[in-house]
Structure 1
């Protein structure tokens, strides 16, 4: 299974769900032919980029067809469809109508292959398939258009809020010096000015980094050939040494061309966050491959991420205003997102109380065509 909740097999799925899951490769073969033939600009898009998160979306549909499965439709409790729109904005010259056309062709291919393979869906099951596709269209288009919005609002909020305190300390301390602070207090006041000025300097550097990420600039990557499963095992082992939580790795070897250092840091961030925000019952890394794309996911159980925060947790400097909620993600998840996008891929989140939280890096197995190497 390639579903976004890291379901490992077909256990617990209905017969219809299993039949639909088995159709996946045939559906995408037909869909890809149609897309390349009918959509302007799609003909020369590389295969991994063309499919991006759609195979995950497909298996989410298969899950939703099982009665009482904790997923009403393919877009429930995840941002896979939004990530499709995000990646289309970053990786193609598409316009919104081309995304809509892709989903229309997806619906046609699904129906055609189901007929050819004798897979019969009830009226209610077709309702789930259609509502999943309709929801995916809306979410993809919404995110596609959002990618054209500027980073100004977030930057302005950071400038007005985060920089206010150190600037206030600098001004008040300088005022004390101008009115004649005692000699014994002067060194301490000067140190406060120095410390908070340096803090402001670091904030400005971070905001410049944020502007770069907001413009979609890519991280510098040094690509090499290695096995993602070995990398995951190494990260899991090192994390387990410093934390009592259990970390495990499943999947199979996937050898490809990536930046080992940045991918390691991204995976470490995901594992540390999963341990920190999980319920202490362990973290699981899964490595898989489909259609030339490597899927690296980290799963934990515990309180889910609210759907309205799916996009926010990957934003630079985002903090939840709730004092009881510990999800002040800082720089970790924005870095993960930047690593995935710099490799020509995406990062998705699937989170619910029933299935736990899974964050997945979805990138091409061979990133060389998508990366400007020094």
Structure 2
């Protein structure tokens, strides 16, 4: 079998890249912002790889086929990674570049004679595979860049928020009781805390999407005391609506900060979506094996179809769209509860109102 196509491709590789670059600059909007060598990226390496794939002189052993496959993947990923680093490139433009390259390869190689079916199939399959590898890496790199941006931004925001909070707390301490500005300062601190909570939610969601686990510090915890302290803070902001029901002291092994965060999220949701001025109940019940914590509010029930998406990140029910937030609270509540080997579920009907039930194992959990 002739090796002419492989040789022609090798001899015309530079010309192919020159034609490709001219067309790319005409047809791919993002390309006009980049110099020639940067624009060509790893594509000359890909052409060298294609030369080997088309060659009839190379012994196509299983080892050689695997080596070529790995190298092709590496080159495709390199192209996708570098393109993702340019803010003006989209994944559709990345794919279009390869379509242009395939078109130019066929035109140049068929100037002397039509390609055989085998040769066309090799080129088409090779292009399709490298497009897939490049697009996959482009998406992954873009996610990594976005995650880094998110973490950096939220870190910087928290620094500024902490400064504002400390200053506001200092002002609050210096105000006399009964001063009309006390309530204003207190509300400012409450708003700052909500902002800080939203930022923490973004950070944690970012870690979970990146495949990392939440950083939890476990210790013995007085659940009654935790809830009493939380309710005192909630009453300061939302009024005397909260009722605690607990028949005996409850001690568990948990991450104090994160369990408080879960309960606070459920209680604030009860304020947002429950009927105004009706009681919100936080009830603790113990069984032989579990501790059940229920946060209940009166009001319109959550529709069954909406209940199925409650614990998904960035998903919000129709009623929730009228409220501020990013749809991360319940997602993180579920993940935190699961990190304690527990479960969280919802029961919601017109007659009984809405209850979120957290079930935690009674046996101390020694994780993390």
Please give the range of the TM-score, normalised by the shorter of the 2 chains.
Answer: 0.3 to 0.5
More helix per residue: 2
Higher gyration radius (CA): 2
Normalised by the length of structure 1, the TM-score is 0.42
